[in-house]
Amino acid sequence: MISGLVSEKKQKKKNLLLAAALELFLSKGSDSTSIDDIVRKAGVAKGTFYLYFHDRGEILKAIMAERSDYLLRMASEKAELQNPSSATERLLFIVEALVDEFARHPVLLGLMYRNLTWGILLSSETVKDVGILGERGQDALCPSADFDKMAFVIMELVTSVCYSSIILGEPAGIEVMKPFLLSSIRRLLVDEDKIRSMGQNR
Instruction: Give ∠ CA 98-102-104 in degrees, rounded to 5.
Output: 120
Q: Tell me the CB-side half-sphere exposure of residue 117, using CA atoms within 13 A.
A: 8
From the list 115, 121, 134, the residue with the least C-alpha distance to 29 is 115
Q: Give 86: exposed, middle or buried? Use CB within 10 Å, 0-12, 13-18, 19+.
A: exposed
- Cα–Cα distance list, 141 to 54, 99, 134, 136, 150 (Å): 39, 21, 6, 9, 9
Q: Which range, 55-69, 103-117, 137-151, has the best average confidence (pLDDT)?
A: 55-69
Tell me which of 199 and 77 has the higher pLDDT.
77
Mean pLDDT of 79-99: 89
- Single out the residue of 126, 119, 9 nearest to residue 67, CA to CA: 126
pLDDT-derived band at 100, boundaries 50, 70, 90: very high
How much is the pLDDT for 67? 85
Q: Please give the Cα distance from 84 to 194 (Å, whole number).
A: 22
Band (53; pLDDT cuts 50, 70, 90): very high
pLDDT tens digits along 121-175: 555 556 666 555 555 444 455 555 566 677 778 888 998 999 999 999 999 999 9
- The predicted structure's pLDDT at residue 168: 95
C-alpha to C-alpha distance for 113 and 162, rounded to whole angstroms: 9
Q: Which of 190, 191, 54, 65 is nearest to 123 (CA)?
A: 65
Average model confidence (pLDDT) across the chain: 81
Identify residue 127 by its one-letter amino acid code.
V
